[in-house]
Amino acid sequence: MKILGRRLREARNDAGYKQIEAAEKLGISNGTLSGYERNYRDPDTETLHKMADLYNVKVDWLVGRDKEYESDKEKTYNSLAEMKKMLEDYGIEDLFFHNIDDWKNLTPEDIEEIRNHFEYIAHKARKRKEKE
């Protein structure tokens, strides 16, 4: 049984992307990504590396050469997944990041600070609405 498709799906889900979102970020069609995840076709090397970067996993893990899964509880911190989760928590479905590389370098402390700012702004907005 081919392991690539299963691991692509697992990594995408763990990174917090819907299939259509991941396909868009990768510059491929949703049908193409679906084909990769169902083992109907294999991605080219460039696409495989893009997927590993987007999902924050090793290419060797995706293709079954590395048994260690980087996206478990001891994984490398994924600031993009945390930002996405936080935005979804606040009902913000689409946020265009102009320079994705800047967002990839955020630490857990940076994300917490952003979360605190979101909470503060949401609180202020509720108070303002109550006064109206």
Tens of pLDDT, residues 10-40: 899 888 899 999 999 999 999 999 999 999 9
> From CA 110, how far away is CA 33, in angstroms rounded?
32
Query: For residue 50, which of 81, 28, 79 has the smallest C-alpha distance?
Result: 28
Within 8 A by CB and 6+ apart from 118, the residues are: 86, 90
The model carries a pTM of 0.54
Tens of pLDDT, residues 84-125: 777 777 666 555 555 666 667 778 888 888 888 888 888 888
Give the Cβ contact number of residue 9 at 10 Å.
Answer: 17
DSSP character at residue 100:
H
Asked if 64 and 75 count as a contact pair (C-beta separation under 8 A), the reply is no
Higher pLDDT, 27 or 128: 27
